[in-house]
Each structure stands twice: as structure tokens, then as C-alpha cells.
Amino acid sequence: MPDLSPIKSLSIFAFAIFAFNFLCNPAKAQPRDSFPFANEIRAFLAKDSLNRPPKGGLVFIGSSSIRKWDDFEQRFPNPKLIRRGVGGSTLAELVDYYTPYILFPYAPGKIFIYEGENDIASGATPLQLMANYKKLADMIRAKLPDAELYLLSIKYSPSRAKFSNSVRKTNQMLRAYIKGQKKVHYINVTNALLIADGKSDPSLFEKDMLHLNTKGYDRWDKVLRPYFMEE
């Protein structure tokens, strides 16, 4: 095994200590008393301590639609692509809890985010969602001023049909918002699933009618592939 330089050895040691402290004493490492899905964040930290991803890559973060995309790495074999889906997370939680752990440490050049569906199901209005999108964009600008931010549209899940108007309104507001922003982009992953206005094809979803099945991810694959495989 080749010798490591003192600086590199110190860096690895410091990161290992950080991960160890988070794993053994999560309450001390957490920024808030309540930290949803903290076990998943600790698992990411442990994984990174063993094989730290390169900086300047592409980070894809979001809720269970990202976490449950099990063949993602096989579809997109890009070593610079880092997937960090967190449980049934919300955009509000991404803003309040997760960015210091699953975003900022990687110093990515491009950031892709799918969030918002769970916020709406929990009662958030499109205006409240937009406030958090803007807050997140500001956080990223302050910490990673050179990063390109890609915000994915919210899908219409058949099991949440009663929220369709809120989903539509949020996507409309999101498209309008990015027009006046630098380094912020909108990716429409919603239309690829539609059979009618505001209605997704049920055959593209798992039995819960919430999460995409392989055929559903095939549709997203076609939309996202140019972004994920271009480098």
C-alpha cells in the first residue's frame, strides 16, 4: 500500500473522527433536538468515511422517490454522481437539517433536487413551498456560489390525487421563479408520466400508487440522462 502524505492522512483522520462522533453521539452532532431520518444521515456519513466522493461532482438529493431508485447507479455509471435520497423527507427538512450533511461537504458543481411532494401532503401551500425553495437557493449561493442548481418538478402521484391543484400551482410558480435566477434551472419530470392533465399513468407506479416502479423510472431516465451523463 502506498504511503499517504501527512496532509492527506490528517484529512482522512479528521473526517473519520467526525463520522465516528456522529455515529456514536448523534445528539451532539445534530443541529436540532429533532432530526427526522437521522439514522439515514448517519449511514451516509459512515459510507463517506470509507469512500469519500470527489468534490466538484453532481449531487442528486431528495425524498423517497430518490432513495427508492435502486438501480440508479447502474443506469447512470458516472463516478462523479452522488445520490442521497432521504426517507419521506420534505423540502422544509432539507433546508432545516440535511444540507450540512448530504450537500455542502461534497462541494458539488451541480445539484439536483426532488422535494416538495411530501410538504404538500403534510399541508404546506405552494407559497410556503416557494419560500423554502428560495431559502434553499440562497443557502446554496452563499455556500457554493459556483454551483448550478436544478429543481425537479413535482409529480402527480395517483394516491395523492386530491393535492393535484397544489402540485400544479407549485410547478407553475417554480417555473416562473427560475426565469429570474442565475444558475437555477427547472427540469420537468412530471409530463413524462402523464396520461392526462394532472393525472399520471398508474401503470408507472408501485402498488402504493406513490412511488415509481421500473417503468416509471424509465420515463425519468430519458429526461434526466442528458444532465447526469454529460460529464
pLDDT in tens, 167-215: 999 999 999 999 989 999 999 999 999 999 999 999 999 999 999 999 9
pLDDT at 26: 41
Number of domains forming the structure of the chain: 1
Residue 4 pLDDT exceeds 70: no
Tens of pLDDT, residues 122-166: 999 999 999 999 999 999 999 999 999 999 999 999 999 999 999
> Does residue 4 belong to any structural domain of this protein?
no
Is 51 within 8 Å of 77 (Cβ atoms)? Answer: no
> Does residue 217 belong to any structural domain of this protein?
yes
User: Tell me, what CATH number does 193's domain have?
Assistant: 3.40.50.1110
pLDDT at 35: 82
> What CA dihedral angle connects 13, 17, 19 and 23, to 10 degrees?
150
- Which domain range does residue 125 map to? 54-228
Is 110 within 8 Å of 147 (Cβ atoms)? Answer: yes
Q: Taking all residues of the chain, what is their mean pLDDT, rounded to a whole number?
A: 88
pLDDT at 1: 46
